Amino acid sequence: MIIRSLRWRLVVPMVLIIAAAISAAGVFSSFTYRREMDRLILAQRRSAAEGALEIIRRGGDLRDALERVHARDGTRTIVISADGRATRYPRELDAYRLRLLPDGLELSRAEGGRREAMILKTLPHRVAGVGTVYFLPPREPGPRLRAFPNRWLVIGLTAAALLAVLVMLTIFRRVLAPVEALTTGARALAKGKLDARVPVRGEDEVAELGRAFNSMAEALERNERARRNMVSDVAHELRTPLTNIRVHIEAAQDGVVAPDAKFLTSIEEEATTLSRLVDDLQQLSLAEAGVLRLELSEVRLTEIIDRAAPPSVIRSVPEDLVVRADARRLVQVVRNLVNNALAHAESRVEVSATRLGDVVEIRVADDGPGVPPEHAERIFDRFYRVDESRSRATGGAGLGLAIAKQLVELHGGRIWYEKPAFVIALP
């Protein structure tokens, strides 16, 4: 239903608020107009009464004086004498019954079975020897005169209300358009369209929400691409040893090769490669999920280096340097880096360690060509190889550095490449 729309749920209350505000303004304006109109009429009557009273004071026949007053400016007059008799001019006023009020007169008459009454606000004037004089205007400003400005007031207030609603709808459209775009983008993501993006304009909160949505969509697209690449890489890496095993078995079945000890050794090597790859994938998966258990203890770095590096590697590690770590996992990380350095070094590999405040840095450096700058940020990705052919020649699957990175981060540390060394920082 339309009321479920956020736009209309905002518009309807705002329209009611605008209507209430304009209605209050209209009532106040109408009341103010009537009050000021009454003041103006009384002021005009007071000004006109000065000249009329002067004519009446000159004496002579009262009705003649009232006739002269009416002839001058059309003023109608009622005079109440001391004995209560009323003299009226023009004679049309004789048809009305007269009742005195505190602030004026009430004139009424019965015609055709219905009673017609009008209340005239006017000030009494006392004239010695004549009585109390009431001046009536040529005609009372009735409903037509009073309704004239009210009609324009209603028109103006209606136009103001329509303009306010139009401006409000425009503002809501500008505010809610990005929300609708986000809704469309979210639905597109739910349908698997990971390239969905929303246009972003401005620097407000809604624009920031749009940027966050685009960042999320980019991350999802990147993760999905990485997942697909990983599945493809895993299938490719598993295919190689499986293909070799199948070829050996088919060759033995066809009698091309004899199933001797050399044959079994080849099968075992391929099975070992396959097993190592599966173990690496499982270990990486557990590490990335944060469920790989660490057995932390105080360990000396010299013991770690001795277990991880062969005697040919140069060592520069203080004897008293101790870290809290899982010794087996840390040996695995350092051994991976040392083997990688040995594979690329020309003549020299060195492992060093230093304390820098609350952090211990372990560096594994070699004098080889190093990692090209364009590859430095990606060498810790799964299945990523700087040298495709060399990695395959040594049996590597491109998982060693990815596993090392996850293990170091599980220890609360960091690992990065800083030519010519890989650097591990542990707390």
Q: What is the pLDDT of residue 353?
A: 93
What's the sign of the alpha-carbon dihedral 300, 301, 306, 312?
A: negative
Strand partners, 135: 77
Two tokens at 237?
């890496």
pLDDT value, residue 151: 66
Q: pLDDT tier at 56 (50, 70, 90 boundaries)? A: confident
The average pLDDT across 169-179 equals 73
Confidence of residue 426 (pLDDT cuts 50, 70, 90): very high
pLDDT digits (tens, 9 = 90+) for 122-168: 778 888 888 888 887 665 444 444 444 566 667 767 777 777 777 77
Residue closest to 351 by CA, chosen among 378, 371, 330: 330
Highest mean pLDDT among 24-38, 118-132, 231-245, 351-365 belongs to: 351-365
User: Which structure tokens are listed for 101?
Assistant: 């009020």
What's the pLDDT band for 387 if we cut at 50, 70, 90? low
Higher pLDDT, 402 or 26: 402
Distance between CA atoms of residues 138 and 136, nearest Å: 7
Q: Which amino acid, residue 193?
A: K
Q: Mind listing the pLDDT tens digit for each residue in 207-229?
A: 787 888 888 888 888 777 777 77
Give the pLDDT of residue 147. Answer: 47
| pLDDT for the residue 45 | 61
Give me the pLDDT at residue 79, please: 87
Confidence of residue 362 (pLDDT cuts 50, 70, 90): very high
Q: Which one is predicted more confidently, 144 or 264?
A: 264
pLDDT score of 363? 94
- Greatest mean pLDDT among 8-12, 240-244, 325-329: 325-329
232 has pLDDT over 50:
yes
CA angle 361/347/419 to nearest 5° reads: 40
Mean pLDDT of the chain: 78
pLDDT for residue 392 is more than 60: no
Question: Each residue of 11-33: pLDDT tens digit?
Answer: 677 777 777 777 777 667 767 76
